[in-house]
Chains A and B, each alone.
Chain A
Amino acid sequence: MGKRVLLVEDEPNIIEAITFLLSREGWKVESHTDGATAVERVNDLRPDLLMLDHMLPGKSGLDILIELRSDEQFAALPILMLTARGQMRDRAQAEAAGVSRFMTKPFSNTQVLAAVRDLMSL
């Protein structure tokens, strides 16, 4: 059974691109656009990997990350964070909060796939 990936992202086109890429590799991709309810969604879905945009409506990716990591059951959840803001401080904050991988948009497809593979095999 294919592993499940939850993609929290508010840009429809980026959702489409990532969904296309990961589905082709055999993973099951669920997407969610609202930051405020993202943690609930993770709780419901129990994905194998969480891809998290940094800038989200409702609640920032960083806050979602911190909330998840404070929960014992998501301490080991692989989380790949994507950001378009390109600030060094964002990366530092995310790493401090326990992100598994941090990528800056725009990314190359191979990079994303490699990262996802990496995190899945852990």
Chain B
Amino acid sequence: MASVNLLIAVCLIYVAFLFAVAFAAERAASRGRGNWLRSPLVYTLSLSIYCTAWTFYGAVGYAARSGMEFVTIYLGPSLVMIGWWWMLRKLVRIGRTQRVTSVADLISSRYGKSNVLAIIVTVMAVVGVTPYIALQLQSVTLSLSIFADPTGVTDGGMNLLSAGFWVALGLALFTVLFGTRNLNANERHDGVVIAIAVEAVVKLVALLAVGIFVVWGVAGGLGEMMVRIDSSEIGQWEVDSSRWTALTVLSGAAFLCLPRMFQVLVVENDDERHLHIASWAFPIYLMLMSLFVVPIAVIGLDLLPANANPDLFVLTVPLSQGQDGLAILSFLGGFSSATSMVIVATLALSTMVSNHVVMPIWLSFQGQGAAVSGDVRNVVLFSRRMSILVIIALGYLYYRVSGGSGALAAIGLISFTGVAQFLPAMMGGIFWRGATRVGALSGLLVGFAIWIYASLLPSFGADVVMSQALLDQGPFDIDFLRPQSLFGIEGVDPTVHAVFWSLFLNTSAFVLGSLISFPNPLERLQGAQFVNIFAHSGHARGWSGSVAESEDLMVMAQRILGGSEAQKLFRREAQKQGQDGHLPEPTPDFLQRLEREMSASVGAATAHAMISQLVGGTSVSVQDLMAVAHESAQMLEYSSQLEAKSSELSTTALQLRDVNAKLTQLSVQKDAFLSQISHELRTPMTSIRSFSEILRDSDGLEAVDKTKYASIIHVEAIRLTRLLDDLLDLSVLENGQVSLNPATGALLSVIDHAVTTTQAGAIRAITIDKSGIDGALVLTTDLDRLSQVFINLISNAQKYCKSENPTLVIETVVKHDEVVVLFTDNGISIPADKRALIFEKFSRINDQDGSGAGLGLAICREIVARLGGKIEHLPILKGNQFAVHLPL
């Protein structure tokens, strides 16, 4: 009888051996001599962490209780490996291309790098797997206790709980040492994998040894064995098809979804061709593991007392036969199963917790405070290590609290059901482009809730978490909400019930949610990448329009990947681009690669955020970069401020442009006006100057010429004077500074005065017809100004009316509250295109006619406007008609 102390010594030696193996493997790998470490054989053996202590010990117990049903636990994974290896290949390809680090990372990446999803998956995984870890601890302590009391009935007075503690501590130490030795971009752990492979061999050898001993040593040969099996209860097993189907599906799903399986299957995979070999080698391994389960169970039931724990037959049968050595080997097999599971599961979970929960929180927390100058790698490693310790502590705590309740297999199945909830989101994600984040989120939450309600909570037993009443009558006596008979399904096995409802409603919610929601652009891209992975491997969603500085990227990469790793990566990329030195151009390809490398350390979402920050930013320093969450909020606000400013500025610019256009127009008008005035003034001055010089300088001019030249000077001087008068008049009128002197008088007398004035000294004679004037009309207005208007109109007619018999008809028409004075001549009509201009300053119909400056009508218009009326030119067939409207 081996003492417990001896056993502990063996354990310690074995663990030391594992440490040595792992250490040697790491050394070999770091020296580049680790090719053999990554052989298909090692890969296949590492998959054996599927076989935990539950399978090692529990399968026999399972067989002793339920006959051949335990086979389903092996059947599921075998079917997946053999029948669906192409699907695994897709998973592995996606995992490698997208640098996926965990199940949570896979699902988060697929659905637009959503960290919410990652957190949910992480939490679900921790909740689902923690009992499983507790189970391993329990199996180790339980198996230790057997050696203290071989009957397996009591714990032999051994302090199981403290043993559990030391085991947990040892496992934590191993995981921290080999799981977080460094932060590999590819997230692979050579030491761990090789240790697991060794343990896989140990547990297979142990189980086979016990089996062979039982068949040939106890039963006395294969034939004898078959007889005993036939005569035992196990031989009478019946197939409950619903349970078989449910359990096979469940174990297959768990094989894919368990974080530790994903770790070895996808993350630690070095070459997807290994899957070809594993697809047949792993089922063989499972078959060998299950080969002697039934014989051991049958013999155990025969040999041992009825109250012996069948879960420990693997140990107790050899012990009862005095085979201590075999029992120790068997113990080591169980120990291996337990430890390898805990190590890999913890590793996988810690990666998820650290990448998706701790680091984002840390980063956003850092964003609040001062800039960080430390090395992020240390933070990541620290967070990983702390996560490992916390997860193992949780497992230990669960073990303490549950007090080792329940059969091993039951806990295993509950855990399986929990993680199987990832399946719809995972499979949908890699096969269905229409799958969306909303769908994944709703499916996961629904499945998880039902799992907790229908499987996890009832598993503690009645009145622990759920009362007996709740279990029997449902919450608030709602019958169809009874946890183990949801929606009125009665009499179904609880496991089948939970698997069916959780997966069915999970899938339904997933499909429905995906159908009614629309994926965002990143989701679409990632969806296409995942679903069509074989179409374009290696071309993940691209970075474009990059303005990132290589130096900045380098600084960031060094912080996260470590100095030498980052330099290696950069140099390699630079070489690939055909560049000298170690700084590659920040091409989309390179950024993509860098993001993938970084996501292994800090998670896809965080890596993406970090690179986005650099690529999108203008001059972002690494310190700023650390403030990811905080700063992006600030940037958003800043940019919206800028936007507001810029729109303000553009409004101002628009206004300025308007003002400028008006000024330019005014300036053009002013230039034209000045040119006109200049011309009008300089022209008479030219004549005056020239002739005055002639008179002054020329001797012997004839008297006639002298008189002629003097009169030219005189006429031009008068012209100048009149021009100046008109200009001043117009200026006064336009500025509104004119003061009117209203008086009452007959309109006829005003017209008479104007006619008399113009007729005196007129060069051309014009007949004026005043017969149409109403002599009774009396006006109260500035009569002098009105006279000025009439004089202007009459003299214009005199000057410009070209006719055989020039005639001007002046008549009055009274309309409502106004009188219209019409001046109609029989001259040549003003051309239509000039009509609009005649009231403008300096406009002359024909420059050759007379010496007017073109101000007369402009002045008339201003005067009439001041008098409260208007003046217009009316087109008539022959001649011109001016109408002066005056208020009565």
A residues with a Cβ closer than 8 A to B are 10-11, 13-14, 16-18, 20-21, 24, 33-34, 55-57, 84-87, 104-110
A54 to chain B, nearest CB (A): 8
With A10-B848, A13-B712 known as contacts, the answer to whether A87 contacts B675 (CB < 8 A) is yes
State whether B678 touches A85 (Cβ < 8 A): yes
Q: Which residues of A contact B674 (CB under 8 A)?
A: 87
Which chain A residues lie closer than 8 Å to B681 at the CB level? Answer: 84
Smallest Cβ-Cβ distance to B676: which chain A residue: A85
Pair A84/B690 contact, Cβ less than 8 Å? no
Q: Are A106 and B686 in touch, CB under 8 angstroms?
A: yes
- 25 contacts across the A-B interface (CB closer than 8 A): A10-B847, A10-B848, A11-B683, A13-B687, A13-B715, A13-B716, A14-B686, A14-B687, A18-B690, A20-B694, A24-B698, A34-B848, A84-B679, A84-B681, A84-B686, A85-B678, A85-B679, A86-B678, A87-B674, A87-B675, A106-B682, A106-B689, A108-B693, A109-B690, A109-B694
Q: How far, in Å, is A14 (CB) from chain B's closest CB?
A: 5
The reply to whether B693 and A105 contact each other, CB–CB distance below 8 Å, is: no
Q: A34 to B846, alpha carbons, bound, how many Å? A: 11
Given A106-B682, A109-B693, the answer on whether A87 and B712 have CB atoms closer than 8 Å is no
Cβ of B688 under 8 Å from chain A: yes
Q: How far is the CB of A69 from chain B (nearest CB, A)?
A: 23
Chain A residues lying within 8 Å of B690, measured Cβ to Cβ, are 14, 17-18, 21, 106-107, 109
Q: Mark B662-682, 1 if CB is under 8 A from A, else 0.
A: 000000000100110011011
With a CB–CB cut-off of 8 A, which chain B residues contact A109? 690, 693-694, 697
Chain A CB within 8 A of B691 CB: yes
Cβ contacts under 8 Å, A84 to chain B: 678-679, 681-683, 686
Beyond contacts A13-B691, A20-B694: 6 other A-B pairs, Cβ-Cβ < 8 A, are: A11-B683, A13-B712, A13-B715, A84-B679, A85-B679, A109-B693
B686 touches A11 (CB 8 A): yes
**Complex: A55 Cα to B712 Cα, angstroms:** 21
B208 lies within 8 A of chain A by Cβ:
no
Closest Cβ of chain B to A49, distance in Å, is 18
How many Å lie between the Cα of A105 and that of B675 in the bound state?
Answer: 13
Residues in B with CB closer than 8 Å to A55 are: 679
Does B120 sit at the interface, judged by CB under 8 A?
A: no
Q: Is B685 an interface residue (CB 8 A)?
A: yes
Q: How many residues of chain B are within 8 Å of chain A by beta carbon? A: 26
Q: Are A105 and B682 neighbours in the complex by a CB distance under 8 Å?
A: yes
Instruction: Give chain A nearest CB distance to B10 CB in angstroms.
Output: 109
Residues from chain A with Cβ under 8 Å of B848 in the complex: 10, 33-34, 57
- Measured CA separation A57–B854 after assembly (Å): 14
Query: B686, B689, B698, B847 — which one has the most chain A CB atoms within 10 A of its CB?
Result: B686
Question: A84-B686, A106-B689 are known contacts. Are A17 and B694 too (CB-CB below 8 A)?
Answer: yes
User: In the complex, A18→B846 CA distance in Å?
Assistant: 24
Closest chain-B Cβ to A109's Cβ sits at a distance in Å of 5
Query: How would residues 289 to 324 of chain B score, 1 for a CB under 8 Å from any chain A CB and 0 otherwise?
Result: 000000000000000000000000000000000000
Minimum Cβ distance to chain A for residue B42 (Å): 90
Scan B694-707; emit 1 where CB is below 8 A from any A CB, else 0.
10011000000000
Inter-subunit contact B694/A57 (CB<8 Å)? no
How far, in angstroms, from A14 to B716 measured CA to CA in the complex? 11
CB neighbours (8 Å) of B847 from chain A are 10, 56-57
Residue from A11, A18, A86, A105 with most neighbouring chain B CB atoms (10 Å): A105
Residues 438-472 of chain B, each 1 if its beta carbon lies under 8 Å from chain A, else 0: 00000000000000000000000000000000000
Q: Which residue of B lies closest to A20 (CB)?
A: B694
| Distance of A67 Cα from B686 Cα, bound (Å) | 27
Q: Decide: A106 near B671, CB < 8 A? Known: A17-B694, A20-B694, A86-B678.
A: no
Task: List A contacts of B715 (CB < 8 A).
Answer: 13
Instruction: Identify the closest chain B residue to A89 (Cβ).
Output: B671
Shortest 7 CB-CB distances between A and B: which pairs?
A84-B682, A13-B687, A17-B690, A57-B847, A106-B686, A105-B686, A106-B689
Which one of A24, A84, A108 has the highest number of Cβ atoms from chain B below 10 Å of its Cβ? A84
CB <8 Å contact, A105 and B694: no
The complex places the Cα of A85 from the Cα of B675 at a distance, in Å, of 5
Q: How far is the CB of A34 from chain B (nearest CB, A)?
A: 8
Known: A13-B687, A17-B687. A86 touches B694 (CB 8 A): no
Name the A residues within 8 Å of B684 (CB-CB). Answer: 13
Q: Are A17 and B691 in contact (CB under 8 A)?
A: yes
Most A Cβ at <10 Å: residue of B678, B681, B697:
B678
Nearest neighbor of B713 in chain A, beta-carbon distance: A13
**Cα distance, A105 to B697, chains bound together (Å):** 19
Chain B residues lying within 8 Å of A33, measured Cβ to Cβ, are 848
- Is the pair A105, B716 in contact by a Cβ cutoff of 8 Å? no
- Closest chain-B Cβ to A120's Cβ sits at a distance in Å of 20
| CB closest chain-A residue, reference B682 | A84
Q: How far is the CA of A13 from the CA of B846 in the complex (A)?
A: 18
- Collect the chain A residues with CB atoms within 8 Å of residue B698's CB: 24
* Docked complex Cα distance between A18 and B691 (Å): 9
Report the separation of the CA atoms of residues A84 and B678 in the bound assembly, to the nearest whole angstrom: 6
Indicate the member of A11, A13, A14, A34 with the most B CB atoms within 10 Å.
Answer: A13
A86 touches B846 (CB 8 A): no
Q: Are A86 and B682 in contact (CB under 8 A)?
A: yes
Contact between B688 and A106, CB atoms less than 8 A apart:
yes
Please report which residues of chain B, range 827-869, place their CB below 8 angstroms from some CB of chain A when the two chains form the complex.
846-848
- A-side contacts of B712, CB under 8 Å: 13, 16
Q: Which residues of B contact A24 (CB under 8 A)?
A: 698
Residues of chain A within 8 A of B679, CB atoms compared: 55, 84-85
Selected contact of B846 from candidates A57, A87, A108, CB within 8 Å: A57
* A5 CB → nearest B CB, Å: 16
- B685, B687, B689, B694: the one within 8 Å of A21 (CB): B694
A107 to B693, CA, bound (A): 10
Q: Are B671 and A87 in contact (CB under 8 A)?
A: yes
Bound complex: CA A109 to CA B694 (Å): 8
